[in-house]
Homo-oligomer: A and B are copies of this chain.
Amino acid sequence: MKNETVSEETAIDLKTLLDHWQEHRRLTRRVIEAYPEDKLFTFSVGGMRPFAQLVMEMITIAQPGIYGMATGSWSVPGRPEINFMLQPPATKAELLAFWDETTDVINQLWPRISVARMRQADKAFGQFDGTITWHYFYFVDNEIHHRAQAYVYLRALGIEPPAFWDRH
């Protein structure tokens, strides 16, 4: 109830921030879908990581990240394997399933985050200092950043990527 009252006066409320992230995640999912199965795991430009590895970075930030934002504990309960070292699954279908699981985890945990929490300082993943707002922006912006690299990969493969402005 407190958040709902506050949100009436807020520049950007918590619901808008959740929507903003999930809109971007829907677009990223469509970029994964646009990939040929093999190229997702193998193709890159300039010696960079293939997109499947960039997607794993997004997932292994988002899952422990949303727990950290919501609870202050920067790990997924009972699943310590979900960390930056986790390698991609073998198939696009499995990667998409992991993506969708992450979408659900974010939606489930988000309502536990308060306006006051957004303003608190915390050490994300035990390593990075900042407010929860700063970490939130970092998670979303890092996804935009690496997804955009996949736009170049897809263009280099002769494949038209999904429209950047379409977040439905």
Contact = CB atoms under 8 A, between A and B. Distances in A.
B115 A10 contact: yes
A95 interface: no
Contacts of A138: 165
A55 to B, nearest CB: 15
Nearest to A5: B9
Given A6-B10, A48-B155, A152-B45, A24 B164 contact: no
A118 B11 contact: yes
11 contacts: A10-B12, A11-B14, A45-B152, A46-B155, A46-B158, A47-B155, A142-B164, A145-B148, A147-B148, A149-B151, A152-B153
A76 interface: no
A115 B11 contact: yes
B11 A45 contact: no
A16 B133 CA distance: 9
Most buried by B among A12, A14, A146, A164: A12
Contact of A24 (B7, B115, B141, B155): B141
A105 interface: no
A45 B9 contact: no
A156 interface: yes
Contacts of A147: 145, 148
Contacts of A14: 11
A79 B16 CA distance: 34
Contacts of A45: 45, 152, 155-156
B12 A9 contact: no
Contacts of A17: 11-12
